[in-house]
Structure 1
Amino acid sequence: MRNEYGRRKGAHIAKFLVLGVVFIGAVGFVTMQLWNCLIPELFHGPFITFWQALGLLLLGKLLFGWHNHHNSWNDKWRRGGEWKARMREKMANMTPEEQERMKEAFRNRCRPGFGRSRERQEDWEKYWSDDTKKGPEDPKNEEKESH
C-alpha cells in the first residue's frame, strides 16, 4: 500500500520504528555514561548498566510526569494569538500618529546597540505617559499664548 505521497506505508513505519529504537538506545547510553562518570565519583554510588539507565529514565518520567500540561500544541499557539488580537484592537482604536509612535517605540526597544537602554526607557515612558492619552492640543491655543 502507498500513502498520499506515493511512498510505501510499511517502509515509513519501519523507518519510524528503527529511529525510535536508535533514539531510546542513545538516550539510555548517554544516561548510563553520565551516571557512571558522575555518581560514583561524587556520591560513592554504584555503577549502572544500560538497562538500569533505561529503568531510571522511565521511573523519572513516571514520578515527574511527561510534561504535557496542555491538551495539545495547538493550545499553545492559540494562546499566543490572544495578545496579537489585543494589539490589533488597540492599534485599530489609535490615530495614525499614535500608531506610528507606537511602532517607533517598539523599533527603538528592539534596536541593537550598547548604552541605548536609558534612551529607550525615556522614549517608552514618554509614549505611555498620561500626556499622550489626552490627545493633541488645540493649535489655536498655542498661537494665542505665544502672542
Structure 2
Amino acid sequence: MKFRIRCVGKALLVVVAIAVLGLVVMMLWNWVVPALFVGARAIDFAHALGLLVLSRILFGGFRGHGGWRGRRHWRKWEAMTPEEREHFQAAWRSGRDRRAGD
C-alpha cells in the first residue's frame, strides 16, 4: 500500500512540476519576447509546454549533468582495466575525504 501511495505521490509531483515549468515558460515568453520583437505574439500554456518539449529534444534535458557528457564518462569507465578502476576509486575517495575535512 505504501508503494502505491509513494508512486502516486511521485507522479503527482511530476505533473505539478511540468505544470509549473510550463507556466514559468509562458510567463517569461509573454513578458520578454513581445517586448523585444515587434512581430512576436504572446503564447498560451499549450504552446509553452510545446516549447519545453522542444528544448528537451534540442538541448538534452532539465537534469543538470545528464545527457551526452555522462555517457562519455561511462564509456571511459568501461574501457578501464580493473587496476585502473581501483586506482581511480582510491584517488576519488581520498579527494572526497579531503574536501569533507575542510
TM-score by length of 2: 0.62
1:64 Cα deviation (Å)?
Answer: 2.2
CA RMSD of aligned residues (A): 3.0
Q: Larger helix proportion, structure 1 or 2?
A: 2
Question: What CA distance in whole angstroms lies between the structure 1 residues aligned with 2:36 and 2:67?
Answer: 33
Which has the bigger relative contact order, CA under 8 A and spacing at least 6? 2
3-state SS of the aligned residue for 1:46? coil
Rounded Cα–Cα distance in structure 2 between residues aligned with 1:83 and 1:17:
35
The equivalent of 2:41 in structure 1 is: 46
How far has the Cα of 1:83 moved from its partner? 8.9
Distance 2:90 2:33 in 1: 47
Runs (4+) of structure 1 exceeding 2 A deviation are: 64-67, 81-86
Residue 60 of structure 2 is matched in structure 1 by: 65
Shift of residue 61, structure 1, vs aligned partner: 1.3
**1:82 aligns to what?**
88
Identity percentage over the alignment? 35
Segments of 5+ residues of structure 1 without an aligned counterpart are: 2-7, 89-109, 111-147
Partner of 1:28: 22
TM-superposed deviation, 1:84: 6.1
For residue 60 of structure 1, report the CA deviation from its aligned partner.
1.3
> Aligned partners of 1:43 and 1:59: how far apart in 2?
21
Q: In the alignment, residue 52 of structure 1 is paired with which amino acid?
A: H
- Structure 2 gap ranges (5+): 78-84, 95-101
Count the aligned residue pairs. 77
